[in-house]
Structure 1
Amino acid sequence: MKKTLGRRINQLRKDKGMTSEQLSEQCGVNAVHIRRIESGSGLPSFHLFLKICNVLGTSADYLLGDLLDNPVIPDSVQQLGKQLKHLEPEQVDMINEMIEVMIRHTKKEQV
């Protein structure tokens, strides 16, 4: 879990164009501590974890979601699932294709 969380924080920080020093300054901690977290050799305190989420503009779900035994599914995703049940299979396929295109487009913009 430590390594996965650290990798996600590291990747998100880099995607935002930030250095570990910049992240540490905005979170009010030593850069060495941030590097330890990103390398997986340490975990942030709850308070620091919330600061990291805020500074990086992400949610705890994004950083921890699939690491939890009982992941929290946002209400919006649950609502979408309910709506998809009323569609024909080809309509669901079309929505899946649109999501895939959006993800590819978003990844291209980040590069």
Structure 2
Amino acid sequence: MSNRIAVRTRSDSLSSHILPVSGTMIGVCTTLIGLVKLAASRHGASHVDEYAALVAVMFLASAMASYLSIRWSYRAQLSIRIERLADIIFLCGLVSITLVATLFAYQVI
């Protein structure tokens, strides 16, 4: 019975939601980089690809932290701290990719 509770607690944690979404957002950033490279031949060079790569690294850090939080779920205090870190990094990544996309749309960067 206790094993079921531990598995249920792990699957209901925030980290179990952050991990797959972070992986998806890394793919979104990679796609954005490819699209910017294609657009660069027509519209000239920009720094959007570099900023999108930095945001992808943020999502990678978020995914790694959420994975570690799930992996170390038997150490409750450490797992909670790492989960908070993953959440903060993930939210910063969301804000960053939104800013990059907005600035790219208005051709500021």
TM-score past 0.5 threshold? no
More helix by share: 2
Q: Which has the higher contact order (CA 8 A, sep 6+)?
A: 2
What's the TM-score once normalised by structure 2's chain length? 0.31
TM-score w.r.t. structure 1 length? 0.31
